[in-house]
Amino acid sequence: MKHYPHPSFAKEGWPFIAISVGLALLILWLTNLIAALPFILIAAFVVQFFRDPPRTIPEDANVILSPADGKIICIEQAHDVYQDVQALKISVFMNVFNVHSNRAPADGEVLDVQYFAGKFVNADFDKASTENERNAVILRMSNGQRITFVQVAGLIARRILCYTKPGEWLKRGERYGFIRFGSRVDVYLPLNATPLVSIGQKVKATETILARID
């Protein structure tokens, strides 16, 4: 199953890609390859940062998919402050070389979207979940279970974009947001969820299954 209604480069990056590539070509035309090399490397970094490749979506409706590319840095019982319940928390850390599009981890209705201004400490730190700028989405799955997934800004991530709002229906793998330049996504699941990933594991948005809720 494929669900990919957007190009292979995130729309948020089109201006950055155009400027960086255009500048690199201009410097190359006006000077030489040696002088233009730093600008070419910058352009290459910008292009790879805003890549947004298609992904295959698992069919099982009872699994929770990773909302982001990155590395698992947290699997623990924690308090979901957005729903005020105890939950299983799974966190994905995204470095600057990961794809930064965020995708819905499950099918369901968006019940609430909560934005909080905050700090910009390293997203790898536990305190980033409660102190950094963040945006939380509460979703009611088709089976009635509720989950929360939170975009968290990082040390140099200064822009959280979320395109969904209460009342909308998200589909697994559907693109719902973007975070620029390094960050994390926290996922809060019911305590009956069974984690299917481990600390340090590298994950891909949509394709990696984080947990199962039966």
Q: Do the beta carbons of residue 208 and residue 69 sit within 8 Å?
A: no
Amino acid letter, residue 52: D
Which residues have a catalytic role annotated?
183
Q: Do the beta carbons of residue 152 and residue 163 sit within 8 Å?
A: no
Q: Do the beta carbons of residue 81 and residue 112 sit within 8 Å?
A: no
Q: How far apart are CA 202 and CA 78, in angstroms?
A: 22
Which residues fall within 8 angstroms of residue 209, CB to CB, at 6 or more apart? 58, 60, 63, 64, 65, 66, 196, 197
**Residue that has been written with the tokens 């992904």 in this structure:** 55
Q: How far apart are CA 52 and CA 180, in angstroms?
A: 13
DSSP letter at 32?
Answer: -
Q: Do the beta carbons of residue 24 and residue 18 sit within 8 Å?
A: no
